[in-house]
Chains A and B, each alone.
Chain A
């Protein structure tokens, strides 16, 4: 046995070297370890003497010729029970769980991240020195990392392991990154209670039971109160007739609560106005509804007569936009609402507003990126059938891409069949 390399066929094919000098057995756990150990036993030899020994070729050796057992085969590396938390709030780090294994030895592990910061950003590569098993809890995704994260949005985190024979295995994990303190993101965060953020902690039943939305003003008042949103009614006390507005707002909250993007801001004030006119034109209506972002305060207004459209538009501003996500190409052009029939809450056709030349410029000119986003959001949530009709003839159009993006990233695939929330 002196000088032989033994393969323990009943023990994962572990290799052992019988050192002919001291006749002791040395474990060769991986190719890299074997390489390092064997070199330690090396006997110096000159080229002349080395040339006296005939070269062997692997082809001349019949694999496992002397053994009745099969010799171990190098299987690709694999993950066992690998997982990563699916959502995280900046600046939390989330650790992987599970194990990376290889029957012969792991060479290295790499983590790549795709998300708002870019695609396939290499977060790290670490050498594993031929170990056959590596616990993944040593590795983590840092939501505050300035190179690959630190922006709210959806990320794909990929671990790639390579064995010593350059075989690789990768596994991807989807992580939703949100900014801290975002009531409404579906995550119970520090400081959030059922009293100040019941939408996350749990209060759906206050306004929605057995598939039916509440018609009680009191229920909505409780809901707003428990989400720390102040209600302001410009003409005085809140009346029963405001109930539809309140419920529309709450419905939008729930419809978008699980969006992959997260909220850029959330309102802490909901102002109800009852002006008789929205101003000069479709966009005038929306623009006259207030959406003032001062630091982290967002005052949210809904203006008659197109309050629901205004509300949806302003709500769109709350959803993170160009700051946090890579929107589809040419997102700014053209505005979605130009040629789409619209009605206000009384059924009055507002399409003619877009036929006016001055308004036409406003409707179809290049809109600020965030305004276009808010409009697409409004159209998607309130005018689904018209929106789809608009894109059916050209599924590859920019509009179609906007629709698809909104469907996938904000509404979790949900589509709308009516113009009422």
Chain B
């Protein structure tokens, strides 16, 4: 009986993971590349990496530098110039 309970529990947990995971992924997908401000925490900033959909802390300029350094995409001048003229 106990063995059956354990199996049921695992099945339910698996189902929950199945439900939650896609929902979480869809949510972060919609925010890829965005900067998020944690309004309930003094407006601390996060960057949602469009590659992996994960969030990265931009708390200080040093953190921003690490994000720029590690999550950026190298681009040649030629490719950059082909991006168009929407440069600010």
Binding site for B on A (CB under 8 A): 1-11, 15-16, 18, 20-28, 30-32, 34-35, 38-39, 41-47, 49-50, 52-56, 58, 60-61, 63-64, 66-72, 74, 104, 130, 164-166
A43 contacts B75, C-beta separation under 8 Å: no
8 contacts between A and B (CB under 8 A): A5-B71, A30-B61, A39-B43, A46-B39, A53-B54, A58-B70, A64-B74, A165-B65
Which applies to chain B's interface (DSSP): helix, strand, loop or mixed?
Answer: mixed
CA distance A66 to B28 in the complex (A): 21
Contact of A8 among B33, B61, B71, B80 (CB under 8 A): B80
Find B72's partner among A6, A22, A32, A45 (CB 8 Å cutoff): A6
Q: Most chain-A CB neighbours within 10 Å: which of B71, B72, B75? A: B72
Known interface pairs A5-B68, A34-B65, A35-B60. Does A43 touch B36 (Cβ–Cβ under 8 Å)?
yes
Contact B88 A6 (CB under 8 A): no
Chain A neighbourhood of B41, CB < 8 A:
47
How far, in whole Å, are A61 and B73 apart by their CA atoms in the complex?
12
Q: Using CB atoms and an 8 Å cutoff, list the residues of chain B in contact with chain A.
A: 23-24, 27-28, 31-41, 43, 45-56, 58, 60-62, 64-77, 80, 83, 86-88
Which residues of the partner chain B approach A68 to less than 8 Å between Cβ atoms?
Answer: 74
> What is the CB-to-nearest-CB distance from A17 to chain B, in angstroms, rounded to a whole number?
9
CB < 8 Å neighbour of A39 from B24, B35, B48, B77: B35
Are B55 and A54 in touch, CB under 8 angstroms?
Answer: yes
Q: Shortest Cβ distance from A65 into chain B, in angstroms? A: 8
Q: Are A31 and B64 in touch, CB under 8 angstroms?
A: yes
> A53-B53, A66-B73, A69-B74 given as contacts; is B80 within 8 A of A3 (CB)?
no
Residues of chain B with a CB closer than 8 A to A50's CB: 36, 38, 46, 55
Chain A nearest Cβ from B74, distance in angstroms: 3
CB neighbours (8 Å) of B28 from chain A are 52-54
Q: Other than A9-B75, A39-B37, give 18 A-B pairs with Cβ distance below 8 A.
A: A3-B34, A4-B50, A4-B72, A4-B73, A15-B72, A24-B88, A31-B61, A31-B62, A41-B34, A42-B35, A50-B38, A50-B55, A55-B55, A56-B54, A63-B70, A67-B75, A104-B65, A166-B62
| B residues less than 8 Å from A2 (CB atoms) | 32-33, 50
Q: Which residue of A lies closest to B48 (CB)?
A: A53
Query: Which of A41, A67, A166 contacts B35, CB < 8 Å?
Result: A41
Residues of B within 8 A of A71 (CB): 69-70, 72, 74
Question: For the complex, what is the distance from the CA of A16 to the CA of B87, rounded to whole Å?
Answer: 9
Shortest distance from the beta carbon of A165 to any chain B beta carbon, whole Å: 6
B residues near A35, Cβ cutoff 8 Å = 45, 58, 60-61, 64
Which residues from chain B contact A30 at a C-beta distance below 8 Å?
A: 61
Task: Decide: A165 and B36 in contact? CB cutoff 8 A.
Answer: no
- From residue A29, how far is it (CB to closest CB) to chain B in Å? 11
Query: Roughly how many angstroms separate A187 CA and B43 CA in the complex, as a whole number?
Result: 59
Indicate if the CB atoms of B68 and A31 lie closer than 8 Å.
yes
Asked if A46 and B75 sit within 8 Å, CB to CB, the answer is no
Question: In the complex, A23→B68 CA distance in Å?
Answer: 18
Provide the residues of chain B in CB contact with A16, threshold 8 Å. Answer: 80, 87
Closest to B38 in A: A50
- A38 to B52, alpha carbons, bound, how many Å? 19
A175 to B13 Cα, complex, angstroms: 75
Q: List chain A residues, Cβ under 8 A from B53.
A: 53-54
Do the beta carbons of B77 and A10 come within 8 Å of each other?
A: yes
Contact B88 A31 (CB under 8 A): no
In the assembled complex, how far is the CB of residue A187 from the closest CB belonging to chain B, in whole angstroms?
A: 45
State how many angstroms separate the Cβ of B38 from the closest Cβ of chain A.
6
B55 adjacent to A53 (CB under 8 Å):
yes
**Residue from the list B31, B65, B69, B80 in contact with A6, Cβ < 8 A:** B80
Query: Is the CB–CB distance between A53 and B24 below 8 Å?
Result: yes
Do A8 and B75 contact each other (CB < 8 Å), given the known contacts A24-B86, A61-B52, A61-B70?
A: yes
CB distance from A40 to the nearest CB of B (A): 8
Task: Identify B62's interface contact among A4, A9, A61, A165, CB under 8 A.
Answer: A165
Residues of B within 8 A of A46 (CB): 39-40
Contact A28 B45 (CB under 8 A): no
Indicate if the CB atoms of B39 and A44 lie closer than 8 Å: yes
| Residues B58 and A38 in contact, CB atoms below 8 Å apart | yes
In the bound assembly, the distance between CA atoms of A64 and B35 in angstroms comes to: 21
**Residues of B with C-beta under 8 A to A42:** 35-37, 43, 45
Shortest Cβ distance from B9 into chain A, in angstroms?
Answer: 24
- Cα A166 to Cα B38 in complex, Å, equals 27
Chain B residues near A23: list those with CB within 8 A. 86
